Structure 1
Amino acid sequence: MPPLSSSQQQLQAIDDTVTLIPGLLNDVASLILSFIPYSHQSRLKRTCKSWFVFFSSKTLFFNRRKFKSHSHLLCIFPEDPSISFPFLFDPAHLAWRPLPPLPCNPSTYSLCNFTSVSLGPHIYLLGGSHFDARSFPLDRPLPSGSAFRFNFITYSWERIAPMISPRGSFACAAVHGLNQIIVAGGGSRHSMFAAAGSRINSVERYEVVGNKWVEMDGLPRFRAGCVGFVAEESGEFWVMGGYGESRIVSGVFPVDEYYRDAVVMELKNNDGNDVDGGGGKWREVGDMWEEGQRARLGKIVVLEDDGCRSPEVFMLDQTDILRYDMALNRWQKETSVPRKASDEKSFGFVVLDGELHVMTLLNGLDWSETRRSRQHKKAGTLFIQIYHPRKKTWRSLVAKPPFHHPLDFSTAVMCTIRL
Structure 2
Amino acid sequence: MAPSASSSSQLQINETQTLIPGIPNDIASQILSMIPYSHHSRIKPTCKSWHIFLSSTKTLFLLRHNLRHSNHLLIIFPQDPFISLPYLFDPQNLAWRPLPPMPCNPHVYGLCNFTSVSMGPNLYVLGGSLFDTRSYPIDRPSPTSSVFRFNFVDFLWEKLCPMISPRGSFACVAVPDWDQIIVAGGGSRHTWFGAAGSRISSVERYDVGKDEWVAIDGLPRYRAGCAGFLSGNGEEKEFWVVGGYGESRTISGIFPVDEYYKDAVVMDLEKNGCGKWREVGDMWGVAWRGRLGKIVVVEEEAEAEGLGVNQGRPVVFMLDGDEIFRYDMASNSWQKESSVPRKAPYNSSFGFVVLDGELHVMTPVQGGDLMETRRSRQQKRGGTLLVQIYHPKMKTWRSLVTKPPFYYPLDFKTAIMCTIQL
State the TM-score, normalizing by the size of structure 2: 0.90
Q: Deviations over 1:148-194 (max 9, x none)?
A: 11111111111111111111100011111111111100011000001
Structure 1 counterpart of 2:164, one-letter code: I
Paired with 2:346 and 2:154, the residues of 1 have a C-alpha distance of 40
- Structure 1 Cα separation of the partners of residues 135 and 316 of structure 2: 40
Q: 1:398 to 1:128 in 2, by over 3 A?
A: same
Counterpart of 2:373?
A: none
Partner of 1:402: 405
Distance 1:389 1:45 in 2: 37
Q: Which residue of 2 aligns with 1:295?
A: 290
Give the deviation of 1:249 after TM superposition.
Answer: 0.9
Aligned mates of 2:344, 2:417 — CA distance in 1: 20
User: Residue type of the partner of 2:267?
Assistant: M
* 200 and 345 in structure 1: CA distance in 2 versus 1, 3 angstrom threshold: farther
The secondary structure found in structure 2 opposite 1:267 is: strand
Distance (whole Å) between structure 2 residues aligned to residue 223 and residue 285 of structure 1: 14
Q: 8 Å contact 2:266–2:277 — kept in the other structure?
A: yes
Contact 2:345 2:365 in 1 (8 A): no
The aligned residue for residue 148 of structure 1 is 148
Deviates more, 1:340-349 or 1:196-205: 340-349
Runs of 5+ consecutive residues of structure 1 not aligned to the other structure: 1-11, 269-273, 366-374
Distance in 2 separating the partners of 1:180 and 1:47:
39
**Cα displacement string for residues 96-155 of structure 1 (whole angstroms, at most 9, x for unaligned residues):** 000011110000011000111111111101110000000000011111111111111111
CA contact (8 A) 1:175 1:232 kept: no
- The match for 1:14 is 12
- Residue aligning to 1:32: 31
Equivalent residue of 2:414, what SS? coil
Name 2:191's counterpart in structure 1.
191
Equivalent-residue separation in structure 2 for 1:396 and 1:47 (angstroms) = 33
| C-alpha contact (below 8 Å) 2:379/2:403 kept by paired residues | no
> Post-superposition shift, 1:26?
2.6
Distance between the aligned counterparts of 1:198 and 1:89, measured in 2? 34
Q: 1:283 aligns with which of 278, 283, 304?
A: 278
On the 8 A contact 1:236/1:264 being kept in 2, the answer is: yes
Match of 2:253 among 251, 254, 271: 251
Structure 2 matches for 1:152-171, cutoff 5 A? 152-171=152-171
Aligned CA RMSD, in angstroms, stands at: 1.8
Alpha-carbon deviations, 1:331-379, whole Å to 9, x = none? 00001111112568511111101100111111189xxxxxxxxx99622
Deviates more, 1:288-297 or 1:22-31: 22-31
1:373-417 C-alpha deviation (Å, 9 max, x unpaired):
xx9962211011100000010001111111111111010000111
Residues 364 and 406 in structure 1, CA contact (< 8 A), matched pair in contact too? no
Q: Which amino acid aligns with 2:237?
A: G
Residues 311, 320 of structure 1: alpha-carbon distance in 2 compared, 3 angstrom cutoff: same
Shift of 1:68: 1.1
Q: Distance in 1 between matches of 2:379 and 2:24?
A: 51
Aligned to 2:362: 359
2:324 corresponding residue in structure 1: 321
* 1:41 aligned counterpart, secondary structure: helix
Asked if the contact 2:170/2:185 (under 8 Å) is kept, the reply is yes
Contact 1:317 1:344 in 2 (8 A): no
Map of 1:4-403 to 2, 5 A cutoff? Answer: 13-17=11-15, 18-57=17-56, 58-233=58-233, 234-268=236-270, 274=271, 276-277=272-273, 279-306=274-301, 307=304, 308=310, 309-342=312-345, 345-363=348-366, 378-403=381-406
SS of the residue 1:29 aligns to: helix
| Counterpart Cα distance in 1 of 2:248 and 2:367 | 34
1:205 shift after superposition: 1.2
By how many angstroms is 1:16 displaced? Answer: 3.9
Q: Which one is further off, 28-37 or 43-52?
A: 43-52
Distance 2:51 2:345 in 1: 46
